Amino acid sequence: MVSVPVSMISFFMSIYIIFTINPQYLLVFVALLVVVWFLIHAAQQKWLWYRRIRAVLESEYTRQFIRNIMSKFEILQSNKIEKEVDNLNEKLHEILEIEKKKHTFEHITYNIGNIITNVIRWSLLFLVGTRILMWTANYSDLTLVILIIWYFETGVLNITGIYKKILKRFSNITQLWEFIDNSPKLKNINEWKKFEYKKWAIQVVDISFGYHDTSFVFENFSIGIDSGTKTAFVGESWGGKTTLVKLLSWYISPNQWDILIDGQKLSEIRLMDYYKHIGYLTQDPWVFDGTIRENLAYALDSEPTQDQLEMAVRNAKCEFVLEFEKGLETEIGERWVRLSWWQKQRLAIAKIMLKNPDIIFLDEPTSALDSFNEEQVNIALHNLFKNKTVIIVAHRLQTVKTADRILLFEKWRVIEDGTHEELVKLGGRYARMLELQGGF
Ligand SMILES: Nc1ncnc2c1ncn2[C@@H]1O[C@H](COP(=O)(O)OP(=O)(O)OP(=O)(O)O)[C@@H](O)[C@H]1O
Ligand SMILES: [Mg+2]
């Protein structure tokens, strides 16, 4: 700030002095000014370009960071945490690189500018000095002191500015790790025992769970689910179906006792190994910014073939993606094509079909479909996940009639348990629900 009035005073004083000495010198001075102005303008354009690129990279970085936080389980389930952290680091590196280039450029132009103005100033002073000796001595002393202070201040300010920016970026990375470390279910993501899928059963042993510490909703709840079977959870809203699926996939953990998968306690195993074997369609599916192809292939270790992709799209009744002008290459997400909830849900089903894991949790997979398409998706799910352990939550009983076993939930308890035929014969709650849905 000091430099502005000082530069202005020196500038007008120079003009006045030159004019008093010889008006022709003023012409040379103005010509020089025009050249310098063009140089400054060019430098300014380049500087703005650096700023623009940095702003774009920064917003990409922030979006990616927020996306990671929002979809932490999707990332875990797809076993992509290292890739996401690498991506963040890469973006961070790009930001630092552009920042470095911008600062180098700033310093070079700043120093060149300084050299030019100083050459002009000192040339003028020399000219004036040869004629008015007293003026020169006082003026140059003053200018020198001001320049030293100015250099010192801008130097210190620049260095602290850069340091602050770097610290800010690194604090974001640290924040992500802190978030993961402090998230109780993710804490031991890289520790604990290795999970091995052995095709055993799921056992829920005496668990208690509550969303709030003060009251449990599942109390001493136990259940066994055979491997390679299709089990349906049905029942009234808020009966606890989604909560149990979240517990089984360890998205939330019970307050008491444990869940055993293949005889291994979920609280003791390395979750990343477990997530490799599960596919979880949540009630609130999420898509990433990127192409449909990238979204579909996200959980896979290798690129799927076009045939595999198209088959998953067909089976999951995701044909709407092919209607987009660019098909699978259509960019989706907040910035591009925004998908509706039902479209996200179908895409999520296609993703699970492509991943084809050993244990599959589907929370309301067909709730957004009409009866005809629901039937077709059910057939596809049935064929694809024939010998897998499938847990399917559904309100429409049409979806669950072929399940090996149906569990009816009411107020956090299983009140009926059996096949479709058995429960119809029982004539209880399930039979009543069926009646209300028009039977079939
Ligand atoms: N994150 C949460 N925090 C606090 N309470 C919750 C939370 N999620 C669910 N609940 C409560 O848990 C109960 C059971 O919810 P849950 O979602 O498991 O039921 P649901 O059987 O899946 O219901 P729906 O058929 O409507 O999906 C509800 O009373 C709900 O208010
Ligand atoms: Mg639910």
Angle at alpha carbon of residue 28, lines to 26 and 32, rounded to 5° = 110
- Where the chain has pLDDT below 50, the residues are 1-2, 128, 131-132, 136-137, 141-142, 144-157, 159-160, 163
Distance spanning both ends of the chain, measured CA to CA? 81
Q: Which CATH architecture has domain 202-436?
A: 3-Layer(aba) Sandwich (3.40)
Q: In this predicted structure, what is the pLDDT of residue 6? A: 57
Angle at alpha carbon of residue 78, lines to 225 and 185, rounded to 5° = 65
Q: In this predicted structure, what is the pLDDT of residue 333? A: 74
Measured CA to CA in angstroms, residue 59 lies from 53, 91, 92, 146 at distances of: 10, 10, 11, 39
CA dihedral sign, ordered 150, 152, 158, 160: negative
C-alpha dihedral, 337 to 355 to 286 to 382, nearest 10°: 100
Residues 6+ away with beta carbon under 8 Å from 89: 173
Burial label, 407 (beta-carbon count in 10 A; 0-12, 13-18, 19+): buried
Nearest-atom index, ligand 1, CA of 246 = 18
User: Using a 6 Å cutoff on CB, does residue 243 contact ligand 1?
Assistant: yes
Relative to the alpha carbon of 407, which ligand is closest?
1
Nearest-atom index, ligand 1, CA of 243 = 18
Angle at alpha carbon of residue 233, lines to 380 and 407, rounded to 5° = 120
Other Cβ atoms less than 10 A from the Cβ of 253: the count is 15
Residue among 440, 297, 284, 435 nearest 374 (CA): 440
Burial of 325-352, coded b for 16+ CB within 10 Å and e otherwise, reads: eeebebebbeeeeebeeebbbbbbbbbb
Other Cβ atoms less than 10 A from the Cβ of 418: the count is 16
Give me ligand 1 centre to Cα 72, in Å: 20
Q: Measuring from atom 22 of ligand 1, which residue has the nearest CA?
A: 242
Other Cβ atoms less than 10 A from the Cβ of 305: the count is 9
Maximal CA-CA distance, the chain? 118
CA dihedral sign, ordered 287, 292, 297, 302: negative
Burial of 366-386, coded b for 16+ CB within 10 Å and e otherwise, reads: bbbbeeeebebbbebbeebbe
Residue 278 corresponds to which amino acid?
Answer: I
Residue among 339, 340, 354, 342 nearest 290 (CA): 339
Counting Cα atoms < 13 Å in the Cβ hemisphere of 136 gives 13
Q: Do residues 180 and 194 lie in contact, with contact meaning Cβ atoms separated by under 8 Å?
A: no
Q: In this predicted structure, what is the pLDDT of residue 197? A: 76
User: Using a 6 Å cutoff on CB, does residue 282 contact ligand 1?
Assistant: no
Residue among 273, 196, 212, 207 nearest 244 (CA): 207
Give me ligand 1 centre to Cα 216, in Å: 13
Q: Measuring from atom 19 of ligand 1, which residue has the nearest CA?
A: 238
Give me ligand 1 centre to Cα 244, in Å: 10
User: Using a 6 Å cutoff on CB, does residue 241 contact ligand 1?
Assistant: yes
Q: In this predicted structure, what is the pLDDT of residue 18? A: 55
Which DSSP category does 370 fall into? -
Residue with structure tokens 């303008």?
41
Give me ligand 2 centre to Cα 236, in Å: 9
User: What is the CATH code of the structural domain delimited by 3-182?
Assistant: 1.20.1560.10
Q: In this predicted structure, what is the pLDDT of residue 2? A: 46
Give me ligand 1 centre to Cα 23, in Å: 86
Burial of 76-95, coded b for 16+ CB within 10 Å and e otherwise, reads: bbbbbbeebbeebeebbebb
Beta strands in 348-429 (DSSP E): 359-363, 389-393, 405-410, 413-418
Q: In this predicted structure, what is the pLDDT of residue 122? A: 66
Across the beta sheet with 230-235, the strand order is: 278-281, 359-363, 389-393, 230-235, 405-410, 413-418
Residue among 204, 185, 203, 362 nearest 279 (CA): 362
Instruction: Give residue 79's region: left, alpha or beta (phi > 0; psi -120 to 50).
Output: left
Q: Measuring from atom 10 of ligand 1, which residue has the nearest CA?
A: 211
What is the C-alpha separation between 232 and 243, in angstroms, rounded? Answer: 14
Q: DSSP assignment of 337-355, as one string?
A: BPPPHHHHHHHHHHHHHHH
Nearest-atom index, ligand 1, CA of 412 = 14
Other Cβ atoms less than 10 A from the Cβ of 410: the count is 14
Give me ligand 1 centre to Cα 233, in Å: 14
| Every domain of the chain and the residues it spans | 3-182, 202-436
E strand or H helix at 207, and its extent?
strand 202-209
Give me ligand 2 centre to Cα 241, in Å: 6
Which of 241, 399, 415 to mutate for ligand 1's pocket (most ligand atoms within 8 Å of CB)?
241
Q: In this predicted structure, what is the pLDDT of residue 15? A: 61
